[in-house]
């Protein structure tokens, strides 16, 4: 579905991503696993169209994909940013309606989508409350569904579970598994091994801007020369033990 | 989604958020209203009621203590532009320690208790009798030059009252002598002037005769009113002196001539529609505070763009299938809505409070308000687009707005000040100046929007709006958009 070939991006002279390549199939969840500063957010930002001056090739279903330049390409994506990107002075309903409207949904479709997504996030009862009054977990769930209003076939998720309790995390996982079962492809960045293991079909390990290896956890163990080892050991083997974001 | 619909959707979102913030909303209305009230009152009372211009306080130390000197003091007291305070001097003038008194008078000025002290010399009467101009001393605070002009004019008028027209021929002779002209020539000049005087007297005499026979024709340009007079006591002193030419004696005819020579136009010209009670200061403070407060409101709305960036929502907006123009335009729409709303509230309040006649010409009011909201909005957007954080934008805004408000005449009417060319040019370079010019032309001069003066002011505002808008677009692309 999405092919990323030799993606590279620099912030000024700092190389944040270099020669990153991977691909995602329909209905697949690809985990982008990497330490802090590995370049996960930068990679997702290039694909989401937030950054435009990247190098390399992006293809969606075999066609050139330039989301920063083409609105139609951005329509194909759902984006869930790492930071909560919601308007605290609007209610959950109003937030969702805004993003649905910006995606060009007609009034009725819009109301339908808002209703569905509120249900998906388990927020129907609190739909009229200001988002500013929500708990961290509720905001996270809303942040996730806000990226799904137009029912995209590929969703980019940048650490969507940061700072939530096990119940909310579980709810989020169930939402994502449901999406997957509906054939939606997911690109999921995280540095939590168990999340990657539970949710992702394949995992790309990223370090210092490059993708070191891609595969299922057992394939990665073999690639790292540590057959039978768990994902965390493989991860540390591939990315090293020293601090990464210094 | 097309740009305009997307921009409108975003503006509605901002408006909704804005209206939800009750405290900010109430403050955004109350603060300007409080300021307009306070400034309106202070301006109106501090500057002497309906007259418009402030009265100049003149302290007088009368060492002569003679009939003539008291006549002069009285005449100055009658001048509508002056507030005369007589400095108490010791009873026995002969035993006065002049130096001590002089030091005391100077101290008055240094301490800020007086700005101008006029000293009438002890031998004033003797000097006059000798046909000389008595040497009057004026101690002054050099920072109050403009007020001094008022004093000088009042002094000329008072001298004319007290010493009569002949005094000036003598005074001129004395001055020319002092500058080195030989006494034969000055004597000649004097006799010419006396001739001129008597020719003029004959002229005024015949006019007076005319007036007596035909009482409806009134002599003297000074007495003609154009429009309604509302100057109150501002010109009272001078007008009080005017008498029909028929009553003029020999000295007074010369005085009438001199008065007309003075660079003070005593004709009252006010637009017929101007509300009777409006003072220049009230019109000034309603317009000034509105112009200034609107800038504050608009820059703070513009900086919502920065908080969107800081809070991360801008990222999500950029991932939506809308153009970046729509995001910028959406903020601009929001700023315009808030600006128009605030302006309406402030003007309605200003009108209710001070009756400055704001809604006399709604079209002109709307054109001026819209132009200023667009200009101020562009300013707010520009600041937001060049700033790195909301805090930075707000400090920059405060600095620039306060400076522009002062220079543009939002606080104090620039017309009252005698500005040097450089400062005058600087003032005219601010956008607030042109907003104030527009509003004052409407409020005070009762001009309509298509009058050249207002069109001129509007043109400058739109130039500012265009420049700032273009700057906002450029910097927004550079600082906010996809790198
Ligand atoms: N706006 C920016 N300007 C300059 N450098 C940046 C910027 N954003 C990120 N970087 C740098 O680019 C590199 C990759 O950052 P990125 O945010 O993509 O990492 P990440 O894998 O998402 O990290 P984390 O897990 O902490 O979110 C880092 O070295 C970071 O310092
Ligand atoms: Mg990140």
pLDDT band at A149 (very low <50, low <70, confident <90, very high): very high
pLDDT at B92: 74
Contacts of residue A222, Cβ cutoff 8 Å, sequence gap at least 6: none
Q: What's the gap in Å between A38 CA and the centre of ligand 1?
A: 7
Tell me the pLDDT of chain A averaged across its residues. Answer: 90
- ipTM of the shown complex: 0.91
Q: Are A208 and A40 in contact (CB under 8 A)?
A: no
Strands (E), chain A: 2-11, 14-24, 29-33, 55-60, 63-64, 77-80, 154-158, 185-190, 202-207, 210-215
Least Cα separation, residue A104 to chain B (angstroms): 5
Pocket of ligand 1 from Cβ distances under 6 Å? A 11, 14, 16, 34, 36-42, 82, 191
What chain A holds in terms of domains, given with CATH numbers, is: 2-239 (3.40.50.300)
pLDDT computed for residue B224 by the predictor: 37
Task: Report the nearest atom of ligand 1 relative to the CA of A206.
Answer: 21
Residue A86 near chain B (CB below 8 Å): yes
pLDDT band at A245 (very low <50, low <70, confident <90, very high): low
pLDDT band at A231 (very low <50, low <70, confident <90, very high): confident
The answer, for A50 touching chain B at a CB cutoff of 8 Å, is yes
Average pLDDT of the segment spanning A107-131 = 94
DSSP string, B270-337: E-TTS-TT--HHHHHHHHHHHHHHHHHHHHHHHTHHHHHHHHTHHHHHHHSSS-HHHHHHHHHHHHHH
pLDDT of residue A22: 93
User: What is the per-residue burial (b if ≥16 Cβ within 10 Å, else e) of B114-147?
Assistant: bbbbbbbbbebbebbeeeebbebeebbbeeeeeb
Structural contact between residues B58 and B79, judged by C-beta atoms closer than 8 angstroms: no
Partner residue facing B319 (CB), from A50, A90, A104: A50
DSSP annotation of A81 reads -
- A10 touches B: beta carbon within 8 Å: no
Closest protein CA for atom 16 of ligand 1: A39
Give me the pLDDT at residue B250, please. Answer: 37
State the closest ligand 1 atom to the C-alpha of A44, by its place in the atom list counted from 1. Answer: 18
Question: Which of A84, A98, A102 lies nearest to residue B312, judging by beta carbons?
Answer: A84
* For testing contact with chain A, the best of B19, B301, B316, B330 (most A CBs within 10 A): B316
Is A49 in contact with B311 (Cβ distance < 8 A)? no
* CA nearest to B312, candidates A162, A75, A15: A162
Q: How far is the CA of B456 from the centre of ligand 1 (A)?
A: 51
Residue nearest atom 22 of ligand 1, based on CA coordinates: A41
Mean pLDDT by 10-residue block, N- to C-terminus, for chain B (483 residues)?
90 89 78 75 56 74 88 88 87 77 84 82 82 76 72 80 69 76 83 78 80 58 38 33 35 46 36 58 81 90 89 92 92 93 88 82 94 95 91 88 89 71 87 93 85 94 97 92 70
How far, in Å, is the centroid of ligand 2 from the Cα of A31? Answer: 13
pLDDT at B465: 97
The pLDDT, as a whole number, for residue B383 is: 93
Confidence at residue A147, expressed as pLDDT on a 0 to 100 scale: 94
- On the question of pLDDT at A83 being above 50, the answer is yes
Protein residue whose Cα sits closest to atom 30 of ligand 1: A37
- Among A75, A85, A73, A72, residue whose Cα is nearest residue A41: A85
Burial class (CB in 10 A: 0-12, 13-18, 19+), A227: exposed
**What's the A40 CA to ligand 2 centre distance in angstroms?**
6
A82 CA to middle of ligand 2, Å?
6
Q: What is the pLDDT of residue B384?
A: 93
Q: Which of B319, B331, B480, B482 would you mutate first to test chain A, the one with the most A CBs within 10 A?
A: B319
Q: Which residue of A has its CA nearest to B6?
A: A102
């Amino acid at each position: 579905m999405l092919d990323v070939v030799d993606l590279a991006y620099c912030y000024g002279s700092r190389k944040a991503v270099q020669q990153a390549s991977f691909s995602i199939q329909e209905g697949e969840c690809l985990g982008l696993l990497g330490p802090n500063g590995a370049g996960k957010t930068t990679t997702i930002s290039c694909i989401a169209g937030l950054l435009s001056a990247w190098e390399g090739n992006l293809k969606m279903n075999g066609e050139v994909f330039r989301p920063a330049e083409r609105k139609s390409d951005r329509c194909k994506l759902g984006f869930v940013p790492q930071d909560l990107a919601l308007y605290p002075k609007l209610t959950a309903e109003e937030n969702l309606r805004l993003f649905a409207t910006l995606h060009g949904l007609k009034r009725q479709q819009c109301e339908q989508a808002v209703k569905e997504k509120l249900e998906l996030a388990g927020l129907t009862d609190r739909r009229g409350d200001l988002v500013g009054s929500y708990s961290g977990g509720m905001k996270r769930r809303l942040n996730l569904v806000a990226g799904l209003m137009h029912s995209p076939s590929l969703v980019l998720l940048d650490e969507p579970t940061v700072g939530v309790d096990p119940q909310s995390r579980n709810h989020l996982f169930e939402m994502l598994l449901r999406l997957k079962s509906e054939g939606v492809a997911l690109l999921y960045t995280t540095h939590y091994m168990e999340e990657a293991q539970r949710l992702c079909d394949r995992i790309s390990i990223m370090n210092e801007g490059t993708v070191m290896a891609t595969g299922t956890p057992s394939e990665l163990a073999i690639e790292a020369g540590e057959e039978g080892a768990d994902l965390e050991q493989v991860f540390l083997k591939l990315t090293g033990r020293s601090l990464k974001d210094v | 989604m097309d740009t305009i619909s997307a921009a409108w959707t975003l503006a509605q979102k901002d408006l909704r958020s804005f209206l939800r913030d009750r405290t900010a909303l109430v403050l955004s209305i109350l603060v300007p209203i409080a300021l307009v009230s306070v400034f309106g009152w202070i301006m109106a009372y501090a500057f002497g009621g309906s007259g418009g211009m402030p009265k100049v306080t003149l302290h007088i130390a009368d060492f002569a203590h003679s009939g003539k000197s008291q006549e002069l003091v009285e005449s100055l007291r009658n001048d509508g532009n002056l507030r005369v305070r007589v400095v108490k001097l010791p009873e026995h003038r002969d035993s006065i320690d002049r130096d001590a008194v002089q030091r005391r008078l100077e101290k008055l000025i240094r301490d800020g208790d007086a700005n101008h002290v006029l000293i009438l010399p002890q031998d004033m009467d003797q000097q006059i009798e000798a046909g000389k101009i008595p040497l009057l001393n004026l101690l002054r605070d050099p920072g109050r030059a403009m007020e001094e002009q008022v004093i000088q004019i009042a002094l000329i008028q008072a001298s004319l009252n007290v010493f009569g027209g002949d005094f000036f021929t003598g005074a001129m002779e004395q001055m020319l002598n002092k500058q080195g002209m030989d006494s034969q020539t000055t004597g000649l000049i004097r006799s010419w002037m006396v001739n001129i005087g008597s020719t003029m007297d004959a002229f005024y005499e015949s006019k007076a005769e005319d007036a007596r026979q035909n009482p409806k024709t009134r002599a003297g340009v000074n007495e003609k009113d154009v429009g309604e007079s509302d100057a109150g006591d501002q010109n009272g002193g001078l007008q009080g002196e005017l008498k029909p030419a028929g009553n003029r004696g020999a000295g007074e005819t010369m005085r009438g001539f001199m008065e007309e020579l003075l660079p003070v136009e005593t004709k009252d010209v006010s637009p017929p529609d101007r509300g009777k009670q409006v003072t220049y200061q009230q019109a000034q403070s309603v317009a000034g505070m509105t112009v200034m407060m609107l800038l504050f409101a608009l820059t703070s709305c513009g900086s919502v763009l920065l908080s969107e960036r800081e809070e991360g929502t801008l990222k999500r907006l950029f991932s939506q299938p809308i153009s970046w123009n729509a995001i910028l335009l959406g903020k601009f729409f929001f700023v315009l809505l808030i600006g128009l709303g605030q302006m309406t509230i402030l003007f309605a309040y200003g009108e209710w409070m001070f009756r400055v006649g704001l809604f006399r010409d709604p079209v002109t009011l709307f054109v001026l308000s819209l132009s200023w909201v667009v200009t101020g909005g562009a300013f707010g957007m520009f600041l937001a687009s060049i700033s790195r954080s909301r805090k930075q934008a707000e400090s920059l805004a405060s600095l620039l707005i306060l400076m522009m408000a002062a220079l543009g005449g939002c606080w104090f009417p620039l017309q009252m000040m005698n500005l040097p060319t450089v400062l005058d040019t600087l003032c005219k370079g601010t956008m607030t100046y042109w907003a104030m010019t527009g509003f004052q032309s409407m409020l005070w001069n009762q001009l309509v929007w298509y009058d050249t003066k207002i069109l001129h002011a509007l043109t400058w505002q739109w130039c500012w709006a265009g420049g700032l808008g273009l700057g906002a677009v450029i910097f927004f692309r550079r600082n906010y958009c996809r790198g």
